[in-house]
Amino acid sequence: MIYLEKVSKKYPNTVALHDVTFAINKGEFVSIVGHSGAGKSTILKMIIAEDSPTSGNVFYHSSDIHRLGGRDILNYRRKVGVIFQDGRLLSNKTAFENVAFAMEVAGREDGEIESEVPGVLRLVGLQDKIWNFPHELSGGERQRIAIARAIVNHPEIIIADEPTGNLDPDNTVDIIDIFKKINELGTTVILTTHNKNTVDSLGRRVVTLDSGKIIRDEKHGKYSI
């Protein structure tokens, strides 16, 4: 599904990635781990086409992501839902409106929005907070809205960049359980995290980076840095 082929990324004062090659198959749940600066976020930027490799290629099926243009790159990005550590919610919109906004941007009809948003908020356990604003919610609840917004357009891939970095252990477990549920429904999940307990409890594939290189890629891996 996603294939990085000899991808390197050089910035003026550093090499973020060096000759990285690996594939992520449809339906996988992959944790990408490593120290700060190891290259985790750079890989995610490559996959969502937010940044381009200095050399190498990133493929979605047979298409080179960084050669897509116009409508093709927009269509690709709609297949990818992204969740960040800080949630990046719209503070002046309710939970419903934050999720609905993602559907509006994708050109979905009003009827679809009204019928689908409550269901996706129910999936993440926020059916009782549908009209609350972000400032009225806990950190864990805000992150659930971010997840709902990322999945409401039925993406093929979910990318979660340190999604539990600001959460306590209980909320971390709840958020990871939601990702597992999403994955069980067939969505590919790519997670970056510094949380050892999370990675070890998943028992899924772990790709470990160090200084921009893959040093381990284990099917049932552990957090080992």
User: Mean pLDDT over residues 172-191, rounded?
Assistant: 93
Pairwise CA distance, residues 18 & 7, whole Å: 7
Q: What does pTM read for this prediction?
A: 0.91
Reported as a pLDDT band with limits 50, 70 and 90, residue 107 is: confident
- 62-100, pLDDT tens digit by residue? 999 999 988 899 889 889 999 987 768 999 999 999 999
Pairwise CA distance, residues 137 & 134, whole Å: 5
Domains and CATH numbers, the chain: 1-76+191-225 (3.40.50.300)
Identify the weakest region by mean pLDDT among 5-14, 51-60, 70-79, 200-209.
Answer: 70-79
Single out the residue of 90, 92, 116, 91 nearest to residue 103, CA to CA: 116
Residue 114: the pLDDT is 93
Max Cα–Cα distance, the chain, nearest Å: 51
